[in-house]
Amino acid sequence: MPLGLNRPVWIVDSEFDVRNHLRHARLPRPGTKAQSCKMIGELAAERLPPDRPPWQLWMVEGFEGAKVVGVLKLNHAMADGGTCAELLDLLARPEPNASPVAARSHAPPQRQAALTCCGTAYATYRTSLYERCLGW
């Protein structure tokens, strides 16, 4: 490895506190797709606190009534867009060895789902992000 560095490794964090990662929000009624995309854009536009771990999971209640939307927000240093999509697919599977939930899409970004559209690389482009979500 260059500069005498080693490959990254996972370590156990003895001070791990899930409250540093999990967040909660509620959509205003009636919880439309436009309201959901607007909120996701606002969440994505907020910087992750530098004194906290580089990821958050938001549970947004009230989508189309009683549905809950999960919004995973993470620093790009942790995973690129493709890796993030694979992680989300693994998290969405009903069982550890189940088949992928959704087939890979080769559609342009404006056609992809809200988590893909709003989740990783576009966090600093709030207005553009909002427009992409509404343009599905």
Q: Out of 21, 24, 76, 106, which one is annotated catalytic?
A: 76
Paired residues of 56 in beta bridges: 73
In angstroms, the CA 3 to CA 102 distance is 40
- Whether 106 sits among the annotated catalytic residues: the reply is no
- What is the number of other CB atoms lying within 10 angstroms of the CB of residue 27? 20
Read off the tokens for 21.
Answer: 């990662």
In angstroms, the CA 6 to CA 61 distance is 42
Amino acid at 111: R
Residues classed as catalytic = 76
